[in-house]
Chain A
Amino acid sequence: NAGVTQTPKFQVLKTGQSMTLQCAQDMNHEYMSWYRQDPGMGLRLIHYSVGAGITDQGEVPNGYNVSRSTTEDFPLRLLSAAPSQTSVYFCASSVGDSYEQYFGPGTRLTVT
């Protein structure tokens, strides 16, 4: 199993550009989530999904959209990037919402 994979590993965007961060898992996990990590603030939940077709907002959802059309994939979309979205983004998955989450390697995003 590859576990949780994320692409790209690094990305630089200009303010106002859009892009999609990809996340995939091959463990047949129902629960998937996106976090952002900023210095001194730990990881904060952006959006999560308890299964295909179901998504919900986390702690810091503004400026991000998600969809879950399949069990395996959970992309995160930035519609109009802002410098405040410069961060490291982690995708995670677990069997269910009460089980241990496995994290991907992260995407480092810089918005200029």
Chain B
Amino acid sequence: GQQLNQSPQSMFIQEGEDVSMNCTSSSIFNTWLWYKQDPGEGPVLLIALYKAGELTSNGRLTAQFGITRKDSFLNISASIPSDVGIYFCAGRTSYGKLTFGQGTILTVHP
């Protein structure tokens, strides 16, 4: 089946630092999605990307849909303690099914 490789697996950063994480795949996706999961909760959608090359921002978050349609990155600028959580990328094919990456665990030290 399709697989997404998400990196890094975990990050430990100081408050105020910028964060970058990415996902790569051997398959082409029509949509890339980035979710955040807080402890004990379900994933919440942060950003959706629909076109190759698309760059989208949502506050301090910026994400890009790779030109090859096989990768995407998420940047978080000026991190704050509430950014702590697990971030997942997900790719969607034309058939609608989502394939998730393994997740990036983000820890922010005040």
A positions within 8 Å CB-CB of B: 4, 31, 33, 35, 40-45, 48, 50, 58-59, 90, 92, 96-98, 100-106
Contact = CB atoms under 8 A, between A and B. Distances in A.
Contacts of A43: 43, 88, 90, 98, 100
B101 A42 contact: yes
Contact of B45 (A4, A41, A98, A100): A100
Q: Can you list the 4 inter-chain pairs with the closest CB atoms, starting with the nearest? A: A97-B96, A103-B42, A42-B100, A43-B100
Interface of B: 1, 4, 6, 9, 31, 33, 35, 40-45, 48, 88, 90, 92, 94-98, 100-103
Contacts, number: 55
B96 A98 contact: yes
A102 B98 CA distance: 12
Nearest to B31: A98
A92 B96 CA distance: 13
Contacts of B95: 97
A90 B98 CA distance: 13
A40 B5 CA distance: 11
